[in-house]
Homo-oligomer: A and B are copies of this chain.
Amino acid sequence: MSEKTTIYDIAKALNITAATVSRALNNNPKISAATKKLVMETAAKMNYKQNRLALALKSGKSNNVGVIVPYIDRNFFSAIIRGIEEELYPLGYHVIICQTHEQESTEIDNINALLNAQVDGILMSVSKLTTQTDHFEYVLEKNVPLVFFDRKKDLKGVSTVTIDDFEGGYRATKHLIDQGCKRIAHLSGDWSLEIYKNRYEGYKKALTDHGIALKKEYVIKTKSDIRAGQKASEKLLMLPEPPDAIFSSSDYVALGAIQQLKKHGIKIPTEFCVVGFSNEPFTKFLELSMTTVDQSPVEMGKMAAKVFLEQVKDSNVKIEKKVVLSPTLKIRMSSVK
């Protein structure tokens, strides 16, 4: 029973040919009900399982999609993958995962490996350190659908699913203004990544829309970890006129800021408000729960999958879809006076 049974085995058992078995198994109309039933039964009896590899080789479709992310154990990305998997699995697709570790060279390697594996599409978030775009063009040349989620590069023929980072930045900042904060600082990330640039732009627009002048010393670019948040907020507090609120592009940075503020005996939210970005799971478990911008990553994954499916449906038509999801502001204790 350990040997795999093929359609030939079934054919032999019934004294018919493999082609007929294949037709019976695939609901081909040109087949008699009798033989079809017979084939179905013996297939079940012999425990036949279709070899997807053979099908893939024949059809040129592997029914696998590749998903590339920086790290799979970052909640934002694993939630996206969950969305992709849940959308695609019912349609018979399998998800192959790769991690770039934020390295461009690894990203290129991942893409080549997935292409060799004949994936039907690649869904990915661009690595922080990626500057070239040749490897993306190469995917397109091979006519393999390419969908960027969250972090993208602007390329012709590539569909993207992102959230409106500008809007996220705007609403976070407006919320702080509504709370009566007058001197709102912003902790940002590297602007070579659009997402951070856009969150900053939203911040800026909200300020000017409400007649608040942008103070250059209130905007600090940092790495995305707790330590960076501590250092940046320390710097802010040393200013002649320190801020009374922080909008951070990262939840981790915001957490570092909160820790540092507390160290200085500053009361949150009464004296100082903080808003983060990403709705990392920990933000709502804090004793002082953190206001943050939710990116609905599972939805983002599902949407990326849907865009991929559209692309596959009309493979002759090159679609270039730009889906922009709306972020949700999760208002919690760190910003409500």
> Which of A's residues lie within 8 Å of B, judged by CB?
1-2, 4, 49-54, 56-57, 62, 64, 71-73, 75, 78-79, 81-82, 85-86, 89, 94-99, 112-118, 141-143, 255, 281-282, 285-288, 298
Residues of chain B within 8 A of A94, CB atoms compared:
96, 98, 113-114, 117
What are 27 contact pairs spanning A and B, CB under 8 A? Answer: A2-B142, A51-B116, A51-B118, A52-B116, A52-B117, A52-B118, A53-B53, A53-B56, A54-B57, A64-B96, A71-B82, A72-B81, A72-B85, A73-B75, A73-B79, A73-B298, A75-B281, A78-B78, A81-B97, A82-B99, A85-B98, A86-B99, A89-B99, A94-B117, A282-B285, A285-B286, A286-B286
When A75-B75, A96-B64 are in contact, do A53 and B287 touch as well, CB less than 8 Å? no
List the B residue with the shortest CB-CB distance to A56.
B53
Q: Could you tell me the distance between the alpha carbons of A72 and B71 in the complex, rounded to whole angstroms?
A: 13
State the Cβ distance, A238 to closest chain B Cβ, in Å: 24
B99 near A96 with CB under 8 A, answer no
CB distance from A42 to the nearest CB of B (A): 18
State how many copies of this chain the complex holds. Answer: 2
Interchain CA distance A81-B74 in the complex, whole Å: 12
Assembled-state Cα–Cα distance A177/B146 (Å): 57
A298 to B81, CA, bound (A): 18
